[in-house]
Structures are given as structure tokens and as C-alpha cells.
Structure 1
């Protein structure tokens, strides 16, 4: 039987703690986790209680939770299913190629991909959490819009080139030092060798999380929501418009440098650096894809 949602979310939050480099004492914001995982706050709250029982997190003064033992989060990951990444990526490719209808049944998907109901359920929950499918009332699932054309993909980078540097210069910008430091640590681990080991999907999540964390400091909900929507729409096409790992690690180094500028309080330089970063990576990603990994 598929695991209950709170247990799945507990494993995913544990993954965020570990991959994001959260240190002991880092505060976990329930609302932010719910937005990031695209679920309501109620199952997130139950997931945090599971993590508390395992000693990964603990109660914070005044309510909420803080990280207690980041290393213990690894023990909460569900058993690896080595064959699940293949069907997941095939569903993504078939959706991008228009080979799947907008509405699908679990029976049809099980038959098409040779999956058990339990394995398909786990994959569909992952896709739903990523925001490109949703369960229909009653039975069946409906795919949500994604970017499919190269022109739309290029336009998404042009849009980001406008909003992301501007967000850093917003009057209401308040640096979340802990969150930026955690993202910097995750990017540094990629530079130090993890980039050769993580999957394309994981790398996309880490890189998009970096950019979303930076823009969240602007406290401008229009900027924040716009980037989240763009990231949700471009996820599938990112699996094809790829950089090889040698180029991808250069982009991760740029993320580290950008984080350093922000942590040093050099916002104007950070905004200029962000503009240069996006202006160069956009055309690079729109060019003929090579086998590799998603970046930025």
C-alpha cells in the first residue's frame, strides 16, 4: 500500500533539510514548507510531528519547529526504488511530446508503463507535489499546463531576466541569511562533486530552490509567485534543454558567488551578477541540448 501523505512529506522535508544544508537550530516555517511542497499546512504539521518523534526536529520557543539533528534526516528517506526514475521521466517525456491525453486513469497508466498500482501511486504523488498533475474528483488525474515550445522556454528566461535582478533591489528586500546560507552550502556540495551523482530532477530542484529563495527575500508576492509559476511550467522541458555536467558546475559556482555577494550585503553587485548569470545561461540552455543536467 502507498505510504500516507504525512510520512511521504516527512521524508521530503528530511530531504530538504539534508540537501539544503540546514544547520541545527534552523527554524522550519510551516507555511513556507506547505508552499514549497504544494500541499496544505495540515499534512505538513503532521509530517513535522513525525520528524519530531524521530529526533530530527524539535519544538521552538513560542511554537513551531527547529532542526535538531540534520544528519538524522537521512534515515527517514523511503527505501529507494531504482526503477522509478525511468517511468517518471518517461511520463514526463510522453507528456511533453503530447502522447498522453490531458485526463488519464491510473489503469491506463499502469498498463502503458507496466507499473503496479503502488509504484504508480508513488510516482503520481511525486508529480502532483511538483505541480504538473492533479487528482480529479472521483477517479482519474488531469495534467496541468507546462511549457512545450522552445520559444516559450526562451521567453521564460527573458521574463526571469527582468524580475530576478529587480527583486534583489526591491525596497522591502530583507535577506534571509539562514536560508541563503543553506542554499549556498547545497550549491557548494554540488561544486565539490555531488553534481556528478544527483539526478537531473534533483539538480533542477536544488537550482530552482536557490533562485526562489533569493526572490523570496524581496517580500514582493508578485515576484515570488511569478517565479514559482515559471519554475513549475518549465520543469519538464528542463529535462531536455540540458547542460553537460562540466557546464552545469560552472553555473553552480555562480550561485555560490551570488550567495556570497548577498551575504556580504552587496545587493547592487548581486543584482548585476544575477542579470549576467541569467543573460548567459538562457541562450546556453536554448541552444541544442546535450546529455547532462538541468541548471539554474
Structure 2
């Protein structure tokens, strides 16, 4: 199973669990794969994988005669200070996976997409609007669509991180910097929710959006429109590569804790320390995602200034 397919299964599992809790589906209720697939408008293959995940979490259980049934008690998914999951998320992720795997050409029509995914024009249009807003597809004259370039190689992905390591700490030190405390505290609430447990079940899309929103919000405080725009462009390009990577829930929670430390430095007016912390945070995230070892940034190291890096353990 590809990382993108795994992400789709995880997202579908979270959606099924939320549905069971919100609808208060009685314990013992049978959950036929076909019925679940029809409800969430996906094929039976990701449903089967999602059901296996839910069985491991003891949300549902295997029946002796085959299939699954709801367990005695289903807890609602933890409250998350993030936008709710889009009901068309499975379709969105399937299009992303097919594009990354080379199963979709650069240009195609709405009719071709409707036939391929067996969806209505209205539902497809909603997903295409979302993808357009995210910057990886554009409408052509007529009813055609063209996918835009994204980061599709490991080398390009690494270059994106190197640019961020140069850009984001510098943005914090811009002379035109102006902190919007309300906006930063909103981001802090999202990160705290992830640390408090939502990182265990949030979808790859929710995780990417919450984390990129924080970094773009901080860059926006710089007052430098070129820096803010450059980061948004990098994030648009790397979005699909992030979806493709397997979600390491432990690493995700750890990075969110680092985000909280970074936010607290900014809220307390320690911009130089925050800039150094940001540099360490991005450097180590890049190493981690490339498969290297990491040196967790600390507020103490950040306060030591640029030379603080000399006293941090280095990757081999």
C-alpha cells in the first residue's frame, strides 16, 4: 500500500469513527463494507483497510460469521480546533494519489474525471475548486483542466526546506515585523489540540494545513510581502509530497510541541531566540523527513543565539 493510500485509509477510518459517534450507532450494529463504501462514496478497498484500523483501535470488532460490528462504546473523536474534515476528502486524496502516481495526465476534462471517479459534476466541481485554491490545478478554456508543477522529487523537496531555513528565521527579524497576537493564539489553539491527542487521528490534510498555516501566519507578521508570498508558493508546491509521506504520529506530536515553544517565544517578545529556534526546528524537520537523525531544538539553545547550534548534537 502506498503512503497516499495509507493516508486515505487513515482519513476514512477517522471519518467512520466520527460518524459512528455522532449518529450514536448502537453497539452490535453490522457494518457491511458495501454500505460503508456507498455512504462515503469510495471503493471497498480503502473501506476494508479502514475497518482493519478501526478494529485494531477497538472501535469495531470482527463478527464470528464475518464482517464487522460496532463495539460496545464508541467515543466521539476529540474536539479539534481545526476546520472540520471535508466530506469529499476521500475523493480529493484519491485524485492527489493518482496524480502523484502518474495515473492522471497533465491535461484532462471534467467528463473524463467524472467517469473515472464515478461522481457527479457538482461534487467534482467542489473538489476542483479546492485544488485550484491550493494551486496545483488550473482551468483551461472550455471544460479542460491542467495540473500545475509540484515538488515531485526528493531533491526538489530538500531544496524547498533549504529555502525555508533561510527565509523563515529571517522573516521573524524583519524591521517591519508586527505581531498579531489574536492570529497567533488561534494557531496556538490548533497546535495545542494536536499535542493533546488530535495528532493521533487527524488526517494528513488537516496536519499539513494546521502546520503550514502556523508557518505562513508567522511569515506574514514580517510585513515583507515577498517573504510571505515565497513561503506560500513553497507550501503549495510541497503539499502533495507531504501527503505522500507516511504520517509518523510520534514525530508529528513532537513537532507540534516545538511549535508551541516557538509561539511562546514570539508571544513573549523574544524574536531573536524565536528566529534561532525556527532555524533549528526546520533543519531538524528536514533531516527527519529525509531519514536522518535529529537534534531537537530547545528554547535554551535558541536563546544562545546562532552559536547555539555549535553545541547541539549533529546528524551523522
Give the alignment's TM-score, normalised by structure 1.
0.68
Aligned to 1:221: 225
- In the alignment of these two chains, the number of paired residues is 213
CA contact (8 A) 1:164 1:215 kept: yes
Q: What is residue 73 of structure 2 aligned with on the other side?
A: none
Asked whether the 8 Å contact 1:103–1:142 carries over to 2, the reply is yes
Equivalent residue in structure 1 for 2:114, among 110, 117, 130: 110
Q: Distance in 1 between matches of 2:248 and 2:180?
A: 31
Q: Please name the residue that 2:123 is paired with.
A: 119
**Alpha-carbon separation, structure 1, partners of 2:90 and 2:190:** 25
1:240 is matched with 244
- State whether residues 151 and 238 of structure 2, in contact with CA within 8 Å, keep that contact through their aligned partners in structure 1: yes
Aligned partners of 2:138 and 2:123: how far apart in 1? 17
Gaps in structure 1 of 5+ consecutive residues:
1-70, 289-296
Whether 1:268 and 2:272 are equivalent positions in the alignment is yes
Deviates more, 1:192-201 or 1:202-211: 192-201
Taking only aligned residues, the RMSD between alpha carbons, in angstroms, comes to 2.2
Contact 2:204/2:247 (<8 A) preserved: no
Shift of 1:101: 1.5
TM-score, normalised to structure 2, is: 0.64
Counterpart of 2:244 in 1: which secondary structure? coil
**Cα deviations by residue, 1:102-160 (Å, 9 ceiling, x for unpaired):** 11101111111222222212211221121111222221111111110010001100110
Deviations along 1:257-282, one digit per CA (max 9) or x if unpaired, are: 10000000000110010011001001
Shift of 1:96: 1.6
- Output one character per residue of 1:12-54: Cα deviation in whole Å (capped at 9) or x when no partner: xxxxxxxxxxxxxxxxxxxxxxxxxxxxxxxxxxxxxxxxxxx
The aligned runs of 1:141-220 (5 Å cut-off) are 141-220=145-224
The equivalences for 1:77-116 within 5 A come to 81=87, 84-116=88-120
Computing the radius of gyration from Cα coordinates, the structure with the larger value is 2
